Chain A
Amino acid sequence: MSGSIINVSIDGRPVAVAEGATVLDAARELGIDVPTMCYLKDAKPFTSCMVCLVEDTASQKLLPACSSLAQDGMTIRTDTAQVHEARQRALELLLSEHVGDCEGPCRCACPVHLDIPRLLRAVGRADWRSARSIVDDAQPPCVGEQDCKAPCERVCRRNQVDAAVSNSHYGSISSRSVIPSLPRDLLIIENTGDLLRQAQHRLSTSLEMTDQTRHECLQNENCCAAVSIRAVVRCVAGLDVEATAGPSVEAFVRNVSVIGKLMAEEHPVMMRDVSAASRVVAVDPDGGYAADEATREAARCMHCDCRKGHDCALRDYAIAYEADQRHYAGGGRRPFEQITQHADILYEPGKCIRCGICVRITEREREPLGLTFIGRGFDVRIGVPFEGSLAEGLREVARDCAEACPTGALCVRKEAQQ
């Protein structure tokens, strides 16, 4: 019996596969793209995410392509309205419990979409070439122009954290969250020429600041809790390093953003491993920071972005399927969590879709402790057995797991040098 050939048709195109092949195998054979998230090559299917649903024409039923065995005579469609909507709904359900923002508020606010958190990480490790590439990458390059009003700093989350200890007037601004008032799914920006104007318009209409507070804020640069981004940028822009071209800015920045205003209990989470010092005051107020000043200031950034922003299946599919993260929202969000016990990787449980890829990898590679599913149902989570630390759980395959994780739940801490 085994070894026989199975004929199926997908989107009207016939294909022959070996017995035991899945519908996904058959589709890939034809070059038909089927999204997958929990699928792990060469491992037993887990069938969890359900974004790979396709339609069986005969029964009109939806089948998960990754794990449905191809059967002789099957006719499958991957392109019907039902399939599209089913995938969209699956993504929306996953997003409804997602805790994490693809991009930091600073980058969203920046008219040229400078990747500020990544820049600050590069500066923080004194990786000037990478930093310069990131700055050059913004279009048009941000040079920390004096006439830019630094909206990045105004929306900087650090305001929310330090505001509690600050007795300055800044508290009054930060206590009302400016972030949720931003359009959630930031525009799809295609015409970079219009970028600045669009962004400025957006900011002026969406930031709920009176001119008075805005004025005060800008006057009081030094008492402000925000990371002093403009000064860092000036520093980097002024450096004489030869940068290699970094990855170009994504054609558009569509953001999955749910965190908004931080909950009080999230402050310590966000501030873990972050410099608690107050803003670095530049010795030369006009010329930006000196290199060491910039490095110190960069250490104050809480890294609100997602380390996997450029490589996240959830984000990519959410954009492709126009999934609306608010569709099933309403249950309130869970607190943002970050597990920093591991030297190489970060674990942010709020971004986990329980696809089990990491669990299967640790099992396959015989990680001594490994990872496991804990609990069941809606609250099932991934963790180290007996609540051990992530460092104990992932001794051998931490990077493999982070790379295979379809979202930013497990991610590599240190970005590669450019």
Chain B
Amino acid sequence: MSEIDISQVDAIIDGCGTARSEAITILTSIQDCFHYLPQEALDRVCERTDCTPAQLYGVATFYSHFRLQPAGAHRVKVCIGTACHVKGAGAVYDAFRRHLAIEGDDDTDADRLFTVEKVACLGCCMLAPAVQIDRTTYGHVTQAQVGGLLRDFLAAEAQRAKADGSKVLRGAGVAGEVRLCRCTSCEAAGAGAVWEATHAAIQALHLNVRLQLVGCTGLSFEAPLLEVVGEGGDAFRYGMVRADDVEATLLRHFQPAGLHRRVTTRALRWLDRCVDSFEEHEAPFRYAADIRETIASPYWQRQDHIVLDGAGEVGPLDLTAYRARGGFEALQRCHARYTPDEVIELITASGLRGRGGGGFLSGLKWRQTATAAEGMRYLVCNGDEGDPGSFMDRMILESFPFRVIEGMAIAAFAVGAGEGIFYIRCEYPLAVKRVREAIQMCVDAGLLGEGLTLRVAEGAGAFVCGEETALLAAIEGQRGMPRIRPPYPSEQGLHGQPTLVNNVETYATVPWIVAHGPDALRQLGTPGSPGTKTFALAGRIVRGGLIEVPMGTTIREVVEEIGGGVGEGHTFKAVQIGGPSGGCIPARLADIPIDFDSLHAEGSMMGSGGLVVLDDSDCMVDIARYFLAFSQDESCGKCTFCRVGTRRMLDILERLCAGEGRAGDVEELEKLGGWVKAGSLCGLGQTAPNPVLSTLQHFRDEYEAHIAGTCPAGRCKALIRYAITTDCIGCTRCAQHCPVDAIPFAPHERHEIDDELCIRCDTCRQVCPSNAVIIRSHNPRS
């Protein structure tokens, strides 16, 4: 391997410090610099810091973000999170590998340009399947697009250097405003290009219009969403906008300074095309922003916004706007009027329960931390959000960083903490960046109060680090292995000191409680679970996105009214709530209210709030296998029941999906699942069997069917065959798209599939214009 420039490593160490606890920060910086962890760099770190070789190597091999082998110039991360999984991410991953001719254990192409990896969730679930290349995210990726996407990335890469920095046009007498969210999801849906186009159009047309960056609207199913506020203050929203549409859209609302002929013709051209090429590009949805009376109305009616207050209106880093809406008043009120004890009382009285999954009473936790031993106290904001299928915390951090900071500051005041740490997963670069900036702005404005410092620690790719003791180990620069509780972090946390660990959303709710009083929270939600909860609604649903509803809203209301139900021609089968620790709740129980206790009673869990909708085309055994595989892969490997037990459960599930199930497998799975729950050390192992046990409870017949050799939903590859019916019109599209040439080219004739070659990737079925490709059950036993 080529020599590396050791002075870069030295600079990193100088920047990060030499304490043992900086190990992960140092490694992250080294990896950012060299794209992997060169041995010379690691040796240098051992030499110059307090980190030991055992610690560094242990850490470097624990977190999936780190790699010890050189990577390609760009890293392609294919999301295989829940939402992406159900939308065919596995095939997209395979397609990238095929396209780049990557084989075997390798993950990088021969030119060492792209390294293809799987990631758990990119937090853009409603745009599934999602793919991230370096820091650019792409949504709705299909197998057929893979080649074009890579080309697009390289082209954009070449241009990136030229991009100018003046993003916001301001000027006197603005006639109107154009608002656009550029959070990760919107970017993935193409918001970047729309932004550039809008910017260009405003300049080209000399419009007297301000381009405003705003936080998430929640309407992610329509991203990118352009909101145009005209002179009179009337607002219109345009969903699924493309860069090409922008100019014409603006022209509908604003008069150009001088109406150039060129512009007019361009607009006309656009209108023409819109009519002509309807097939290629559906015109954007558009409707007045007073949407309570328009199509998305149910999407909003059911919602109540506490943590999402200001969604789509306020710029994420617009401190003035946040304060104009009452931001930081709650904190000031605490400082001015309450004792720390009274603040804790307030939170206790509100009945707030932690939003990180367990639903522990926040007031009680605050009290425990406040009354623990004397000395330094810490505050941690858990933004690890590793649940593959949820993105609420990402959106809150990206869009409302001030709200979380204010909640943290209030908590710090209440429990007497001197340092607060945001632990944010590294898959959320934008959240990290915005929170850092927001902290700096608060510090500059002198808002945090005396004796509180806030900082961000980045995760390095480990789901288990969402578990609080593992998270603390990670902040201390160690392998993220949980430890037994008690002692709880509130007694002995970071560096052995009392530490308050709360979830992002928990903190984000706090200012509202202080501002509106504890009773106001209890007016929302249920007696046992007061307040609201955000959910990431994704999967087989018409309108996916970030929603915030009062606790106690039923599953049916969420799926059918807010989400608009499953796609046409399909039936709603189940929801998976709470990700890998939660469970499936079948459609027939859709009327149960969503709150901590009702879900628990059904063998599911609130988890962090991922809500993935499944329909009749989803195989429950496959879903169970998917989640278990996730947990098994993310197990820290410490305790026997989780480390080996989940592996043995997965052995059985893999057998079932491969059509090799044996009599007794289902019973063994159930028993072993029970032992893994009972005998595991931390929440990961204790909940990992939930998806299996809950699907076993509600869909046992599907398990039995797999043992008998059929997959009722037609998903498990070993148990199906693709075939082409007489509906085939001989258009050759399937033949063109089949990645393995399993369909001979036969223009105008009925096509046929070669079973031997077919890898059951589903492409042909997706591209066939006449629905001639069907899936047949294939029983390997008969």
Residue A50 at the B interface, CB < 8 A? yes
Q: Does B639 lie at the interface of the complex (its beta carbon under 8 Å from any beta carbon of A)? A: yes
A-side interface residues, number (CB < 8 Å): 43
B523 at the interface (CB under 8 A from A): no
For the complex, give the distance between the alpha carbons of A346 and B123 in Å: 47
Q: Is the CB of A377 within 8 A of B58?
A: no
A47 at the interface (CB under 8 A from B): yes
Task: Encode contact with A along B22-46: 1 for CB under 8 Å, 0 otherwise.
Answer: 0000000000000000010010000
B637 touches A354 (CB 8 A): yes
**Residue B635 interfacial (CB < 8 Å):** yes
User: Which of B56, B62, B632 is close to A385, meaning CB atoms less than 8 Å apart?
Assistant: B56
Which of B58, B61, B637, B679 contacts A378 (CB under 8 A)?
B637
A330–B662 alpha-carbon span in the complex (Å): 12
Q: How far does the alpha carbon of A93 sit from the alpha carbon of B637 in the complex, in Å?
A: 13
Which residues of the other chain, A, contact B54 by a CB distance below 8 angstroms?
A: 359, 362-363, 369-372, 385
The residue that A94 contacts in the complex, of B483, B486, B634, B644, with Cβ under 8 A, is B644
Interface flags for A60-79 (1: CB within 8 Å of B; 0: not) read 01101001110000000000
Judge whether A386 and B57 touch: CB under 8 Å. yes
B644 and A48 contacting across the interface, CB-CB below 8 Å: no
Cα separation A305 to B636 with both chains bound (whole Å) = 32
B637 close to A376 (CB less than 8 A): yes
B479 to chain A, nearest CB (A): 6
Which of B637, B648, B678, B679 lies in contact with A375, CB distance below 8 A? B637
Does chain A have a CB within 8 A of B744? no
A331 touches B484 (CB 8 A): no
CB–CB B678/A86 < 8 A: yes
Closest Cβ of chain A to B491, distance in Å, is 11
* Cβ contacts under 8 Å, B679 to chain A: 50, 53, 62, 86, 89-90
Q: Give A156 Cβ to nearest chain B Cβ, in Å.
A: 32
In the assembled complex, the CB of A243 is this many whole angstroms from the nearest CB of chain B, namely: 42
* B643 interface residue (CB < 8 Å to A): yes
A269 to B167, CA, bound (A): 64
Contact B633 A377 (CB under 8 A): yes
Complex CA gap A68/B681 in Å reads 11
Give the shortest distance, in Å, between B434 (CB) and chain A (any CB): 30
Known: A93-B645, A370-B54, A375-B61. A331 touches B638 (CB 8 A): no
- Tell me which residues across on chain A come within 8 A of B637, comparing CB atoms: 354, 373, 375-380
Contact A49 B484 (CB under 8 A): no
B640→A96 contact, CB < 8 A: no
Beta-carbon contacts under 8 Å, B631-683 to A: 632-641, 643-648, 651, 672, 675, 678-679, 681
- Residues of chain B contacted by A187 (CB below 8 angstroms): none
A129 to B479, CA, bound (A): 49
Indicate if the CB atoms of A47 and B644 lie closer than 8 Å: no
Candidates A69, A372, A378; contact of B643 at CB < 8 Å: A378
**Could you say which residues of chain B place their CB within 8 Å of the CB of A86?**
675, 678-679
A407 to B632, CA, bound (A): 25
> Does B613 count as interface, using CB distance less than 8 angstroms?
no
Residues of A with C-beta under 8 A to B55: 372
Which residue from B39, B61, B672, B678 sits with its C-beta under 8 Å from A62? Answer: B678
Interchain CB contact (< 8 A) of A372 among B58, B483, B487: B58
Size class of the contact patch on chain B: 35 or more
Tell me the A348-366 residues at the B interface (CB within 8 Å).
Answer: 353-354, 359, 362-363
* Contact across chains for A50 and B640 when beta carbons are under 8 A apart: yes
Cβ 8 A contact of A373, one of B58, B639, B672: B58
Q: B486 to A376, Cβ gap below 8 A?
A: no
- Which residue of the partner chain, among B643, B646, B651, contacts A380 with CB atoms under 8 Å? B643
Name the CB-closest residue of A to B645. Answer: A93
Task: Look across to chain B and name the residue whose beta carbon is closest to the beta carbon of A94.
Answer: B640
Question: Which residue, of B55, B56, B641, B644, has the highest number of chain A Cβ atoms within 10 A?
Answer: B644
Q: Are B644 and A97 in contact (CB under 8 A)?
A: yes
> In the complex, what's the smallest C-beta–C-beta distance from B674 to chain A, in angstroms?
10
- Considering the chains assembled together, what is the distance between the CA atoms of A353 and B637 in angstroms? 11
Please indicate which of the listed interface residues B39, B57, B62, B651 has the most CB atoms of chain A within 10 Å of its own CB.
B57
- Shortest Cβ distance from B644 into A: residue: A93
Q: Contact between B651 and A331 (Cβ–Cβ < 8 Å)?
A: yes
B643:A373 contact, CB within 8 angstroms: no
- B53 at the binding interface (Cβ < 8 Å): yes
- Is B462's beta carbon under 8 Å from chain A? yes
Kindly state whether residue A252 has any CB partner on chain B within 8 Å.
no
- Docked Cα-Cα span, A145 to B438, in Å, equals 87
Q: What chain A residues lie within 8 Å of B53 (beta carbons)?
A: 369-370, 372, 385-386
Q: Are A49 and B57 in contact (CB under 8 A)?
A: no
Whole-angstrom CA separation of A61 from B61 in the bound complex = 33
Which of A354, A371, A377 is packed against the most chain B CB atoms within 10 Å?
A377
B390-414 residues at the A interface, CB under 8 angstroms: none
**Is residue B52 within 8 Å, beta carbon to beta carbon, of the partner chain?**
yes
- Closest Cβ of chain A to B645, distance in Å, is 6
- How many Å lie between the Cα of A376 and that of B465 in the bound state? 13
Residues from chain B with a CB closer than 8 A to the CB of A67 are 484
| A379 to B650 Cα, complex, angstroms | 14
For B672, list chain A residues within 8 Å (CB). Answer: 89, 328
Measured in the bound complex, the distance between the Cα atoms of B484 and A51 in whole Å is 15
> Which residues of B lie under 8 Å from residue A380 when comparing CB positions?
636-637, 643
Contact flag A376-B479 (CB < 8 Å), given A86-B675, A370-B52, A385-B56: yes
Closest chain A residue to B480 by CB distance?
Answer: A376
C-alpha gap A97/B646 in the complex (Å): 13
Contacts of A330 in B (CB 8 A): 651
Contact A375 B62 (CB under 8 A): yes
- The residue of chain B having its C-beta at the shortest distance from the C-beta of A2 within the complex is B373
A117 to B636, CA, bound (A): 38
Query: Which residue of A has the minimal Cβ distance to B55?
Result: A372
Q: In the A-B complex, list the 10 residue pairs whose CB atoms are closest, starting with the nearest.
A: A380-B637, A385-B53, A372-B54, A385-B57, A93-B644, A372-B58, A377-B635, A378-B647, A377-B637, A370-B54
23 contacts between A and B (CB under 8 A): A47-B638, A48-B640, A50-B641, A51-B640, A69-B486, A69-B487, A89-B641, A89-B675, A96-B644, A96-B648, A328-B644, A354-B637, A354-B638, A362-B54, A374-B57, A375-B62, A376-B462, A377-B632, A377-B636, A378-B635, A378-B637, A385-B56, A386-B42
Using CB atoms and an 8 Å cutoff, list the residues of chain B in contact with chain A.
39, 42, 52-58, 61-62, 462, 479, 483-484, 486-487, 632-641, 643-648, 651, 672, 675, 678-679, 681
Known A50-B641, A377-B635; 5 more pairs at CB < 8 Å:
A45-B484, A328-B648, A372-B54, A373-B62, A379-B637
